[in-house]
Amino acid sequence: MKFYIVKKEQQLEAIPAQRLILESYQANNYKFVNVVSACNTQDALKRFPSIQKSNKKRIIIGVNIAVISIILAIYTIN
């Protein structure tokens, strides 16, 4: 089943992929984001890649690079 992912400010919603439902959400200031195939609305939101996940990954990668750089700098000084 397909779902539309719509967004209002920071709130994401998954609604069934029907044009009339989408138009009613757009009338309430929701914006269309993407289409996702899923079993139910919760699964649709899980399948949609969120910005927060990618930001956390970038932070973790940056911290790892910084730690490795510090360790290499300490070993080259000694």
For residue 44, pLDDT over 70 is answered with yes
Cβ(5)–Cβ(48) below 8 Å: yes
Of the chain, the percentage scoring pLDDT greater than 90 comes to 59
Question: Which regions of 9-73 does DSSP assign to beta strands (E)?
Answer: 11-16, 31-37
For residue 53, pLDDT over 60 is answered with no
pLDDT at residue 71 in the model: 94
Helix (H) or strand (E) run with residue 58 in it: helix 51-77
| CA distances (Å), origin 69, targets 61, 64, 74 | 12, 9, 9
State if pTM tops 0.75: no
* Confidence band for 73, pLDDT divided at 50, 70 and 90: very high
